[in-house]
Amino acid sequence: MKRLLRVGSRESKLAVIQARLVIDTIRRHHPELEFELVTMKTSGDVLLDRNLDEVGGKGLFVKELDVGLRSGRIDFAVHSLKDMPMETPEDLPVAALTKRENPFDALVMPEGAEKIDLSKPFGCSSARRTLQLQRLYPGSTVKGIRGNVLLRLQKVDSGEYAATVLACAGLNRMGLQGRVTRVFTENEMIPAAGQGILAVQGRAGEDHGYLACVDNEEARIAYTAENAFIRRLDGGCSSPIAAYARLEGGSIRLFGLHYDEESGRHATGTMAMPAGDAETLGYALAEQLLKELRA
């Protein structure tokens, strides 16, 4: 008999697609395994009338799946890495990080629109995106928008918003590349740490050898730098902090943004080091931006 593994995922269409991408990869390498997809509605999917920082932050997207792992209801969970807290519980380690999809953000206007209507607000609930949007479009206004990708697209198409900003990775995985109006570069809008990477979370002490086929070394190195940068700046869900790292041969280059709430000032910067110094790079760039904002 094949060994059955129960895979946890949020209920949204994108989350299910992402979980199935991981399952399909493992199945190709391990035909002796069988899988059952277990979907759960998380608190983050239910509480759509308030910003995440008002009701518990990124942990709301993993809470129910964490319970499922601890109870044995599921054997591993698949998350968008950018939606996970910076620190994970010791008993529920991240066992694999997938190869990164397009890490950048995309501007999405109402379907059929040819020109952006700045008399209407941008639909955006991310402090990171809001800060960078208003720098790119001076004088624009921003209004909160919550919900899954399809729900946000419906709200934009209804005419309530001038446009919204969504992750290219999610749009690509859902086959919605045609909705992209503009892809922002790292010099225009630095992505969230981990954006475009999927995280596979399991239980400590168990054999996760079958996940080696989905684990990607470049993603781990990049996220090590991004995570160190965010942790040094105590970046929570509500903080306009961004970090994106890419490998350049034997080096790694990190782009970062930090916002100082007391002064209302922000700073962006970039720095490169050998790939083996990814964590050191994250801390060093954070210190550089802190020094700049304190000057």
CATH 3.40.50.2300 is right for the domain spanning 105-183: no
Same CATH fold assignment for domains 1-98+198-215 and 105-183: yes
C-alpha–C-alpha distance, residues 91 and 93, integer Å: 6
Indicate which residues carry an active-site annotation.
83
Which conformational region is residue 79 in: left (phi greater than 0), alpha (psi within -120 to 50 degrees), or beta?
Answer: beta
| Residue 52 confidence (pLDDT) | 47
Specify whether the CB–CB gap between 286 and 233 falls below 8 A: yes
The secondary structure element, H or E, covering residue 228 is helix 217-232
CATH superfamily of 1-98+198-215: Periplasmic binding protein-like II (3.40.190.10)
Is 65 exposed, middle or buried (CB count within 10 Å of its CB: 0-12, 13-18, 19+)? Answer: buried
| Residue 238 confidence (pLDDT) | 61
| Residue 86 confidence (pLDDT) | 84
| Residue 56 confidence (pLDDT) | 46
- pLDDT under 70: residue ranges of the chain: 43-61, 235-238
The tens digit of pLDDT for each residue in 194-207 reads: 999 999 999 999 99
The tens digit of pLDDT for each residue in 230-279 reads: 999 976 556 789 999 999 999 999 999 999 888 889 999 999 999 999 99
Mark 271-280 as b/e (b = at least 16 C-beta within 10 Å).
bebebebbbe
Could you tell me the residue ranges of all domains in the chain?
A: 1-98+198-215, 105-183, 216-295
What fold, for 216-295?
Double Stranded RNA Binding Domain (3.30.160)
